[in-house]
Chains A and B, each alone.
Chain A
């Protein structure tokens, strides 16, 4: 991990942002009706990279689009011809500003499933061509619990550049990866940080860590859930769910998708779009057999996939503790409460 750090002040940071927006294709949180989402911006006044409010949607759609055309086909008298779609999976490089810890961590989690065995090249291209700049995590939000999920905030390399508001009033810009270091070096902010900078960063992260309302003993929850497959508690925790799938669509790590065809006359397109294990038809097979026909079984799959299976398979937890799902759920279900409540019944 790189320890390249420069220090600046508020005006310097604004300048840093402006330079990036001027030079690269840039995405940043943009406000609309008091809610924020990552949008393409051409001017710093359009966006607010330092807003403490989390975005409604995670960073995921910028790497794994809600709906993507993956193939075209054309039929004529000689047969069927397949062709690539004209959608360019991100040719140039881009920068994303104002990313929170959880969102960046979510991409690291997605990397595991997209890069094992068969590699999703579109996703990978987008990943390689993107520089992620984080800010905004000075204080934990109401539904945040990222530090509980074996995530080392201070030594994380999930972002390329981290911007930290030091408790001493200075702003530190830290290049964490090679990509990030290069981005800082290409800017006009070049004041090297003083010797005490590392300690200042540590202090900042300690204060951040102490600001969490939600705390979970992850090791314990993980161990207990492994033994609670048959727990009747899954029925209780899922009873309010209306299966709207909002949680999965906005989740930074949910990656299930479906493949569907659309055909008009002789031409057609194959799409890949978001799907969710909370959807009752998700595992329904032709002929009527469905291994998860009822809600509690789907919630069991969702909880265990997030807190047990993925960890077992890929070594990471499939929940980054961002709280997006709890904030957007129309019936106030929070994955934090679900896994806590289920594991609580075991002493």
Chain B
């Protein structure tokens, strides 16, 4: 069991829940890697799968950023308050290849709530900054109000060793950054160098689809593009049988896959 320590309103429909385990000894030993997920229970309402959106390099708590999308998430938003208990199982799944991307340039491409799993890795890489080379974050949302982690993004922008590029879909009066969908900005503004670069992307399916096309155009090899998948999950243990794509269980073998691995799976999307 965990207590909700703090609730942070990110956007009109996304909130970040900062959680601390009731048992301090367990909190101490609770370790996870960026990209892993937990099963989050609002008891009596149901259990949902969320990635951990903070990094274990910042110990003592962990974050789950939750978008109001379905029945349980609506209940979480309307009924879960600071100081209340939630049930947590995990961490489950694989993680971003933090070792493999050492010494590489990193390009993060995120859209909407898709920044949540990336944020865990971004924090992890910032906290181990010397292990990684150039660091670029491209983040897009429908409107400026739909951007998650606004305060943290401001901090990232102030950090001289990070390059942060923001974009929204349609122009707004007070908006001074880019306007346009993520793949367009990727091709026209970011123009990333392919050499020695790993791309980590997550966002809504439509964004991922066209981002992969753009990355292909820019010359990125499928093995250098890493993403994390969303699938309906319940047990997180490779038993309940709903997250499989072919013989691959997303909850055990994923959720993190390279584009190369995804291409070898049956085309269920």
Contact = CB atoms under 8 A, between A and B. Distances in A.
Is B one of A's binding partners?
A: yes
Interface of A: 73, 75, 79-80, 82, 113-114, 116-118, 120, 229-230, 255-263, 268, 270, 275, 277, 282-289, 291-292, 297, 301, 304-305, 308-310, 312-313
Contacts of A275: 240-242
B81 to A, nearest CB: 13
A255 B44 contact: no
Contacts of B267: 229-230
B238 A310 contact: no
Q: Classify the secondary structure of B's interface with A.
A: loop
Interface in B217-251: 230-232, 234-235, 237-242, 244, 246-247
B242 A75 contact: no
Given A82-B87, A283-B231, A256 B238 contact: no
Nearest to A263: B44
B43 A261 contact: yes
A301 B246 CA distance: 8
Contact of A259 (B205, B234, B266): B234
Contact of B70 (A117, A118, A286, A313): A286
Nearest to A282: B242
Contacts of A277: 241-242
A116 B238 contact: yes
21 contacts: A73-B44, A79-B22, A80-B43, A80-B87, A82-B1, A255-B239, A257-B234, A257-B235, A261-B44, A263-B44, A268-B43, A270-B43, A285-B69, A285-B70, A286-B69, A286-B70, A287-B70, A289-B230, A291-B268, A301-B244, A305-B244
A117 B235 CA distance: 13
A116 B85 CA distance: 31
B268 A292 contact: yes
Contacts, number: 107
A283 B232 contact: yes
B117 to A, nearest CB: 16
A289 B230 CA distance: 10
A229 B266 contact: yes
A287 B113 CA distance: 12
A336 to B, nearest CB: 22
Contacts of B247: 308-310, 312-313
Q: Classify the secondary structure of A's interface with B.
A: mixed
A292 B240 CA distance: 16
B242 to A, nearest CB: 5
Nearest to B268: A291
B240 A291 contact: no
B73 to A, nearest CB: 6
